[in-house]
A and B are shown apart, each in its own frame.
Chain A
Amino acid sequence: MRKPTLFPATMPSLTLGLGLGVGLALALASGPAGAETGPIRIGVNEPLTGPFAASGTYVVNGAKIAADEINAQGGVLGRRIELVIEDNKSNPTEAAAVAEKLITSDKTPVMMGAWGSSLTLAVMPKLADYETPMLVETSSSGKITTSGNPYVFRISPPSALEAEAFAPMVEKIGLKKVDFIVINNDWGRGAAADFAKMLKDKGVAIGLVETMDQGAQDMSAQLAKLKGSDADTIMITSAVDQLTLLFKQMSALGLKKRVITTGGSQNPDQIIAQAGGAADGTLHLTTFLPWYPEKTPNPKATAYFIEEWKKRGFQFAGVTESFRGYDGIRTIAQAIAKAGSTDAARIKAAFWSVDFTGLNGQIRFAKSGPAGRESGQSKPEIYLIRIDGGRVVMPEL
C-alpha cells in the first residue's frame, strides 16, 4: 500500500544530495585555464562596499588609469594587462576569500590590495600558502612588513616610517606636549604608538591618547576632554570623514590648538569642501602633493595622472587616495616586465629589482622583517602641508 508512495519522496532527496555533490564538482572543477597568450591578469582586492567603500573605489579607479596607460603603450611582455577587481566588503574574512579566488580561480600571478591593515593581514597567510606576491598600496600597520611574510611588497609608509620622516620637523614647529585622538583600529593605535615613541625621544611630552570608533560621528565627549588638557598640539589619525567631523566639532567647542593629522588618508580637498573654515590652520602629513605637481618627484607623471583623473570625471579630492592604486599597478607592471614571465615566483623575485620614480618618490624595495623571510618596503616622500583660507599651502619651516 505504501510502496508506490516511496518513490516520489526518495527521488528528490537523492537527486538533491548526490546531484548537488556531483553536479557542483563537475561544473566547478573546470575553472578558467591559465592561457599563455591572453592578457596578463592582475588581481585587485579592495573594499568597494562597507565602511571603506569610498577609499577602495578611489584606489581601483587609480589602478584602472595605470592599466589603460600601460595597455596604450603596448602592454607588458607584448601582452595586455587585465585587472581582475574584487570587492572585499571591508571585511577581513572576505578579503582572505577574495585573495583565494583571485589566485586559484582567476589565476592571477600577482595581486594588489587590500587597503586596510586588518584586510591585508587577513590576506597574508594566503600569499604564503599559494606563494603569490602582493603589492600593498595603502595599509600602514607595522606588522605587515615585520611578520616575516616574503610575499608582501609595500609602497605606503608604515606609521613608524612616517614618524621618522616627521622627526626633523618637530623642533621647527615647536611641539612641547602632544595629545592624540586616533581611530580605534590598528592604523590609529599604531600611529599613536609610533609617533609617541618618536616624540618622547625628541623630549616632547605625551598627554592623553583618546580613541574614537570607526564610524563614530560624535566626538564631542573626547574633544571636551582634550579641551581641558594642557597640551599645545593634537595629533589625529583617521580617515577623511572623521577628520572633517573632528574639525567641525572642535570649532564648535572653541577648541583652538595646533592640529597635525597623520596617515596619508586626509584628502585635504574634501576637508576644505566639507569642514570649511573649521579646517583653517590645520597641518597634515601627506604622501602626495597633487596641488603642486611641480614639487613632486615626478612632475610629468603627476600632471598626466591628475589630468586623466579629471578627464574621467572623478572628484579631484580623490587623487590623494587613488594615486596609490596608480603607482601600485605601475610597480606590478614593472615587476612583471623585469621577471620576463608571468610566473608568480619570478615576479616575486623581480619586485626586488623594481626601481622607478612613482608619484610620491622613488619606488625601490628595502628589506624589512626577520632575516631570510623579509618583506619589501618602499620609502615614499612625506610632506607637511597646511590648510589656509581654503587652500593647501606648504608651510615654511
Chain B
Amino acid sequence: MDQLLQHLVNTLILGGTYALLGIGLTLIFGIMNVVNFTHGALYTMGAYLMYLAVTALGLGFFLALPAAILGGLVLGAAIEFVLLRPLRGSDIDTTMLVMIGAGIVLQSGTLWVFGGVAKSVPTPFPDAPLHLGPVSVSWLRLFVLGAALALIGLTYGLINRTRLGLAMRATFQDHDTAALMGVNVRLIYTATFAIGSSLAAAAGALLGPVYVVFPQMGGLAELKAFAIVILGGLGNITGAAIGGFILALAEELGAGYISSGYRDAMGFLIIIAVLAFRPTGLFARAERIG
C-alpha cells in the first residue's frame, strides 16, 4: 500500500513535466502542422541555459528559470525564422526532415561546446525531503510540479484570453480564412513555434536541476513527448496535459509491478494500443484549440 502511494505521488510529480513537454509539441503540430524533431534538443538547451544562468551568470535559481525560458523563446523564434519560414507550403515530410537535421546540429553542438560530462545545477532547496506519512517527496520536485502547473495555466490563458491566442485559434481552425480576416499568419507561426519551444526549454530548465544536464538528455524526453501527444490527440492541448499524467502513471505502475526493464516501453505500448483502438487519440483532435 505504501509502495502504491509512493508510486502515485511520483506520478503526480513526473506527470506535470511530461504534460509541459507534450503541450509545447502538440501546440506546434496543431497550428503549424510541423512534427518538431528539435523538441528534445530545445529541452536540452533549456537545461544548459539554466546551468549557465545559475553558474556562469550567477543569476540565482529563481531568476535563472525565466531567463532560460526566454532563451528557449528566442531560439525557437530563430529556428522558425531561418528554417521553417522559407519552407512554408512544403509537405510535412520535408519540414520534419529539416527539423531532424536541426536537432542533430543542436545536439552535437551542445556536445561540442559543453563536452560530454554531465553538469549539475545547484538549487536552493534543502536536501532533506518532505515526509507525508509513508511517502516522501523532495522540495525541489514539489516546486517543479508547481512551476509546471503554473506554466500550463499560463499557456492556457494565453491561448484563451489574449488577442494573440485568438489569432492562434483562428489560424488553427483555418489559416486561409484567418489570413483573409487580417491575421498575420506568418507572425502567428513564429509566435507559436517560439512558445512551443519555450515550453520545451522550460521543461528542461525545471528538470535539469532535478536530474543532471548532459547533451543526450533530450532524446528520451522527445520520444516521451511524442507518446504524450499521440495519447492526447495531435493538436489537443488538454489531451496532452492529461496524456502526460497517464504516461507517468503507466510508467510508474509498469516499473513497480511488471518489470523495470519495460518502463520506457510503456509509452510506446500505449501509443500502439491507442492507435489500434482509437486512432485519433484518446481525446480526438480538437475542433478548436484551447
Contact = CB atoms under 8 A, between A and B. Distances in A.
Tell me, yes or no, whether A and B come into direct contact in the complex with CB atoms closer than 8 A. Answer: yes
Interface of A: 49-54, 57, 184, 210-213, 215-218, 220-222, 224-225, 227-228, 240-241, 244-245, 248, 251-254, 270, 273-274, 276-278, 315, 318
What's the dominant secondary structure at chain A's contact region? helix
B220 A217 contact: yes
B212 interface: yes
B260 A210 contact: yes
B111 A49 contact: yes
Given A215-B219, A252-B138, A277-B127, A244 B118 contact: yes
Interface in B178-220: 207, 210-212, 214-217, 219-220
Given A213-B263, A245-B211, A220 B10 contact: yes
A220 B108 CA distance: 29
A253 B118 contact: no
B129 interface: yes
Given A217-B211, A225-B255, A278-B127, A211 B116 contact: no
Contact of B261 (A184, A215, A227, A274): A184
Given A221-B7, A245-B211, A273 B120 contact: yes
B210 to A, nearest CB: 8
A254 B135 CA distance: 8
Interface of B: 2-3, 6-7, 10, 13-14, 108, 111, 115-118, 120, 127-129, 131, 136-138, 140-141, 207, 210-212, 214-217, 219-220, 251-252, 254-256, 260-261, 263-264
A57 B212 contact: no
B3 A225 contact: yes
B129 A57 contact: no
Given A53-B215, A245-B212, A251-B138, 14 more contacts: A49-B108, A54-B117, A57-B116, A212-B263, A213-B264, A216-B264, A217-B207, A220-B13, A220-B14, A221-B10, A228-B2, A241-B214, A248-B138, A253-B136
B259 to A, nearest CB: 8
Nearest to A251: B127
For A227, A248, A252, A277, which residue has the most chain B Cβ atoms within 10 angstroms? A252
A182 to B, nearest CB: 10
A308 B39 CA distance: 41
Contact of B260 (A211, A276, A315): A211
Contacts of A227: 3, 6
A252 B108 contact: no
Given A53-B111, A245-B211, A278-B127, A222 B118 contact: no
B115 A221 contact: no
Contacts of B217: 217
A50 B220 CA distance: 14
For B3, B117, B219, B251, which residue has the most chain A Cβ atoms within 10 angstroms? B117
Contacts of A252: 129, 136-138, 140-141
Contacts of A240: 118
B6 A224 contact: yes
B117 A276 contact: no
A186 to B, nearest CB: 14
Nearest to A225: B256
Nearest to B13: A220
Contact of A224 (B3, B111, B129): B3
Nearest to B121: A274
A311 to B, nearest CB: 19
B70 to A, nearest CB: 24
B216 A218 contact: no
Given A241-B214, A276-B127, A221 B120 contact: no
Given A213-B263, A218-B211, A222-B260, A241 B118 contact: yes
25 contacts: A49-B116, A52-B116, A54-B116, A211-B260, A213-B263, A217-B217, A218-B14, A218-B211, A220-B13, A221-B7, A222-B255, A222-B260, A224-B10, A224-B252, A228-B3, A228-B6, A240-B118, A244-B118, A251-B128, A251-B138, A252-B137, A253-B6, A274-B118, A274-B120, A276-B127
- Closest 9 CB pairs between A and B? A53-B116, A252-B138, A221-B255, A254-B136, A274-B120, A54-B116, A228-B3, A224-B6, A217-B211
A212 B118 CA distance: 18
Contacts of A251: 127-129, 138
A211 B14 CA distance: 19
A252 B7 CA distance: 13
For A51, A212, A221, A278, which residue has the most chain B Cβ atoms within 10 angstroms? A221
Nearest to B112: A49
Contacts of A224: 3, 6-7, 10, 252, 256
B233 to A, nearest CB: 25
A51 B138 CA distance: 28
Contacts of A244: 118, 120, 212
Nearest to A51: B216
B260 A221 contact: yes
Contacts of B138: 248, 251-252
A315 B251 CA distance: 36
Contacts of A274: 118, 120, 212
Given A184-B261, A225-B256, A254 B120 contact: no
A250 B116 CA distance: 25
Nearest to B117: A54
A254 B129 contact: yes
A162 B215 CA distance: 31
A218 B264 CA distance: 10
B220 A215 contact: yes
A25 to B, nearest CB: 32
B21 to A, nearest CB: 13
Nearest to A273: B120
Contacts of A57: 115-116
Contacts of B136: 252-254
Contacts of A245: 211-212
Contacts of A211: 260-261
A50 to B, nearest CB: 8
A6 B255 CA distance: 66
A85 to B, nearest CB: 15
